[in-house]
Amino acid sequence: MSKSGTIIIVDDNKGVLTAIQILLKSYFSKVVALSSPVTLTSVLREEMPEVVLLDMNFTSGINTGNEGLFWLHEIKKVRPDLPVVLFTAYADIELAIRGIKEGATDFIVKPWDNQKLVETLQTAATSTHNDRKTASKEKPVHSPMYWGESKVMQQLRALIKKVAITDANLLITGENGTGKEMLAREI
Protein backbone atom coordinates (compact mmCIF):
# COMPACT_ATOMS: atom_id res chain seq x y z
CA MET A 1 0.00 0.00 0.00
CA SER A 2 1.46 3.35 -0.99
CA LYS A 3 1.44 6.16 1.51
CA SER A 4 -0.41 9.41 0.98
CA GLY A 5 1.58 12.66 1.22
CA THR A 6 1.75 15.03 4.17
CA ILE A 7 -0.97 15.52 6.79
CA ILE A 8 -1.17 18.21 9.46
CA ILE A 9 -3.00 17.35 12.69
CA VAL A 10 -4.07 20.19 14.99
CA ASP A 11 -5.35 19.22 18.45
CA ASP A 12 -4.65 20.67 21.90
CA ASN A 13 -4.84 17.24 23.56
CA LYS A 14 -1.30 15.80 23.52
CA GLY A 15 -2.59 12.26 24.08
CA VAL A 16 -4.85 12.51 21.04
CA LEU A 17 -1.99 13.96 18.97
CA THR A 18 0.34 11.10 19.93
CA ALA A 19 -2.27 8.41 19.24
CA ILE A 20 -3.13 9.85 15.82
CA GLN A 21 0.54 10.31 14.91
CA ILE A 22 1.22 6.65 15.69
CA LEU A 23 -1.84 5.56 13.71
CA LEU A 24 -1.22 7.74 10.64
CA LYS A 25 2.54 7.32 10.21
CA SER A 26 1.80 4.01 8.45
CA TYR A 27 -0.52 5.73 5.98
CA PHE A 28 1.07 9.14 5.32
CA SER A 29 4.65 9.88 4.31
CA LYS A 30 4.81 12.79 6.76
CA VAL A 31 2.65 13.53 9.83
CA VAL A 32 2.99 17.04 11.28
CA ALA A 33 1.38 17.49 14.71
CA LEU A 34 0.51 20.88 16.19
CA SER A 35 -0.86 21.28 19.72
CA SER A 36 -1.92 24.86 18.96
CA PRO A 37 -3.25 26.39 15.74
CA VAL A 38 -1.26 29.62 16.24
CA THR A 39 1.50 28.59 13.80
CA LEU A 40 -0.83 26.72 11.47
CA THR A 41 -0.82 29.16 8.54
CA SER A 42 2.97 29.35 8.40
CA VAL A 43 3.26 25.55 8.67
CA LEU A 44 0.76 25.21 5.80
CA ARG A 45 3.05 27.25 3.56
CA GLU A 46 6.15 25.26 4.59
CA GLU A 47 4.75 21.73 4.48
CA MET A 48 2.21 21.90 1.61
CA PRO A 49 0.03 19.11 3.06
CA GLU A 50 -2.58 17.08 1.19
CA VAL A 51 -5.04 17.22 4.11
CA VAL A 52 -5.52 18.80 7.56
CA LEU A 53 -7.23 17.17 10.56
CA LEU A 54 -8.46 20.10 12.67
CA ASP A 55 -9.86 19.96 16.20
CA MET A 56 -12.89 22.20 16.74
CA ASN A 57 -12.15 23.40 20.29
CA PHE A 58 -8.91 24.72 21.76
CA THR A 59 -10.00 26.71 24.83
CA SER A 60 -10.84 24.69 27.93
CA GLY A 61 -14.52 24.92 28.83
CA ILE A 62 -15.64 26.36 25.48
CA ASN A 63 -17.18 23.72 23.24
CA THR A 64 -18.97 25.74 20.56
CA GLY A 65 -16.72 24.72 17.68
CA ASN A 66 -16.28 28.36 16.69
CA GLU A 67 -12.51 28.15 17.17
CA GLY A 68 -12.31 25.32 14.67
CA LEU A 69 -14.47 27.23 12.19
CA PHE A 70 -12.23 30.30 12.61
CA TRP A 71 -9.13 28.23 11.83
CA LEU A 72 -10.94 26.55 8.94
CA HIS A 73 -11.40 30.02 7.40
CA GLU A 74 -7.74 30.84 8.03
CA ILE A 75 -6.67 27.63 6.26
CA LYS A 76 -8.94 28.41 3.30
CA LYS A 77 -7.39 31.89 3.00
CA VAL A 78 -3.96 30.30 2.54
CA ARG A 79 -4.99 27.15 0.61
CA PRO A 80 -8.60 27.31 -0.66
CA ASP A 81 -8.34 23.87 -2.27
CA LEU A 82 -6.94 22.07 0.78
CA PRO A 83 -9.25 19.44 2.31
CA VAL A 84 -9.87 20.01 6.02
CA VAL A 85 -11.46 17.29 8.14
CA LEU A 86 -12.98 18.65 11.35
CA PHE A 87 -12.49 16.67 14.55
CA THR A 88 -14.45 17.05 17.80
CA ALA A 89 -15.57 15.24 20.93
CA TYR A 90 -18.83 17.20 20.93
CA ALA A 91 -20.92 15.64 18.19
CA ASP A 92 -23.53 18.07 16.98
CA ILE A 93 -25.19 17.57 13.59
CA GLU A 94 -25.76 21.30 13.17
CA LEU A 95 -22.08 21.99 13.81
CA ALA A 96 -21.12 19.31 11.27
CA ILE A 97 -23.43 20.81 8.64
CA ARG A 98 -22.13 24.30 9.37
CA GLY A 99 -18.54 23.08 9.04
CA ILE A 100 -19.25 21.41 5.69
CA LYS A 101 -21.04 24.52 4.42
CA GLU A 102 -18.09 26.67 5.45
CA GLY A 103 -15.59 24.55 3.55
CA ALA A 104 -14.73 21.43 5.55
CA THR A 105 -14.41 18.17 3.64
CA ASP A 106 -15.70 15.91 6.40
CA PHE A 107 -16.41 15.66 10.12
CA ILE A 108 -15.06 13.01 12.54
CA VAL A 109 -16.28 12.53 16.10
CA LYS A 110 -14.04 11.53 19.04
CA PRO A 111 -13.64 8.82 20.10
CA TRP A 112 -12.94 7.79 16.54
CA ASP A 113 -12.88 4.49 14.71
CA ASN A 114 -9.31 4.04 13.40
CA GLN A 115 -10.36 2.53 10.08
CA LYS A 116 -12.95 5.24 9.39
CA LEU A 117 -10.50 8.00 10.35
CA VAL A 118 -7.79 6.63 8.04
CA GLU A 119 -10.24 6.10 5.16
CA THR A 120 -11.69 9.59 5.53
CA LEU A 121 -8.27 11.25 5.59
CA GLN A 122 -6.91 9.19 2.69
CA THR A 123 -9.99 9.90 0.60
CA ALA A 124 -9.61 13.61 1.27
CA ALA A 125 -5.88 13.51 0.45
CA THR A 126 -6.48 11.50 -2.71
CA SER A 127 -9.22 13.83 -3.90
CA THR A 128 -6.83 16.77 -3.59
CA HIS A 129 -4.17 14.95 -5.58
CA ASN A 130 -6.69 13.90 -8.25
CA ASP A 131 -8.24 17.39 -8.39
CA ARG A 132 -4.81 18.92 -8.99
CA LYS A 133 -4.01 16.42 -11.77
CA THR A 134 -7.41 16.86 -13.43
CA ALA A 135 -7.33 20.65 -13.22
CA SER A 136 -3.94 20.77 -14.88
CA LYS A 137 -4.89 18.38 -17.73
CA GLU A 138 -8.44 19.17 -18.75
CA LYS A 139 -11.27 21.62 -18.43
CA PRO A 140 -14.23 20.55 -16.31
CA VAL A 141 -17.22 19.29 -18.26
CA HIS A 142 -20.47 20.96 -17.26
CA SER A 143 -23.95 20.18 -18.43
CA PRO A 144 -25.59 23.61 -18.80
CA MET A 145 -28.95 22.01 -19.59
CA TYR A 146 -29.24 20.58 -16.07
CA TRP A 147 -26.98 22.79 -13.97
CA GLY A 148 -27.30 26.18 -15.53
CA GLU A 149 -24.54 28.71 -15.13
CA SER A 150 -25.88 30.95 -12.35
CA LYS A 151 -23.84 31.60 -9.22
CA VAL A 152 -26.38 29.69 -7.09
CA MET A 153 -26.08 26.60 -9.29
CA GLN A 154 -22.28 26.81 -9.21
CA GLN A 155 -22.44 26.94 -5.40
CA LEU A 156 -24.78 23.94 -5.40
CA ARG A 157 -22.38 22.03 -7.66
CA ALA A 158 -19.47 22.83 -5.29
CA LEU A 159 -21.51 21.71 -2.27
CA ILE A 160 -22.40 18.44 -4.02
CA LYS A 161 -18.70 17.73 -4.65
CA LYS A 162 -17.98 18.19 -0.94
CA VAL A 163 -20.89 16.08 0.22
CA ALA A 164 -20.38 13.30 -2.34
CA ILE A 165 -17.04 12.20 -0.84
CA THR A 166 -18.50 11.75 2.64
CA ASP A 167 -20.63 8.91 3.95
CA ALA A 168 -23.10 11.33 5.52
CA ASN A 169 -26.84 10.75 5.21
CA LEU A 170 -28.67 13.51 3.37
CA LEU A 171 -32.28 14.63 3.29
CA ILE A 172 -33.16 16.45 0.08
CA THR A 173 -36.42 18.36 0.28
CA GLY A 174 -38.35 20.51 -2.17
CA GLU A 175 -41.44 20.87 -4.30
CA ASN A 176 -42.50 18.19 -6.80
CA GLY A 177 -40.66 18.44 -10.09
CA THR A 178 -37.70 20.46 -8.81
CA GLY A 179 -35.09 17.76 -9.47
CA LYS A 180 -34.60 16.10 -6.08
CA GLU A 181 -34.09 12.65 -7.62
CA MET A 182 -31.67 13.98 -10.23
CA LEU A 183 -29.74 15.72 -7.47
CA ALA A 184 -29.63 12.51 -5.42
CA ARG A 185 -28.29 10.57 -8.42
CA GLU A 186 -25.66 13.25 -9.00
CA ILE A 187 -24.45 12.87 -5.40
Residues 45, 110 within the same domain? yes
Residues 58, 117 within the same domain? yes
Of 99, 116, 138, which residue sits at a domain end? Answer: 138
For 58-70, what is the mean pLDDT?
79
Residues 109, 80 within the same domain? yes
Residues 147, 132 within the same domain? no
Residues 130, 151 within the same domain? no
Residues 118, 164 within the same domain? no
Residues 18, 30 within the same domain? yes
Instruction: Give the pLDDT confidence score for residue 142 in this predicted structure.
Output: 45
Mean pLDDT estimate for the chain = 83
Q: Which residue has the higher pLDDT, 70 or 169?
A: 70
Q: For residue 53, which of 138, 134, 103, 121 has the smallest C-alpha distance?
A: 121
Radius of gyration (C-alpha) of the chain in whole angstroms: 17
Residues 37, 127 within the same domain? yes
Residues 105, 152 within the same domain? no
Find the CATH number of the domain harbouring 92. 3.40.50.2300
Total domain count for the chain? 2
Residues 38, 118 within the same domain? yes
Q: Which domain holds residue 99?
A: 4-138
Phi, psi of 52 (to 5 degrees): -125, 135
Contact 40, 71 (CB under 8 A): yes
The answer to whether residue 11 scores a pLDDT higher than 90 is: yes
Residues 22, 104 within the same domain? yes
Q: For residue 86, which of 61, 70, 77 has the smallest C-alpha distance?
A: 70
Percentage, residues of the chain above pLDDT 90: 47
Calculate the alpha carbon distances from 89 to 65, 84, 160, 164 in Å: 10, 17, 26, 24
Task: Pinpoint the alpha helices (H) of 111-171.
Answer: 114-137, 144-147, 151-164
Residues 28, 113 within the same domain? yes
pLDDT in tens, 98-136: 889 999 999 998 889 999 999 999 999 987 544 544 444
Calculate the alpha carbon distances from 96 to 21, 70, 76, 78, 146 in Å: 24, 14, 17, 22, 29
The answer to whether residue 137 scores a pLDDT higher than 60 is: no
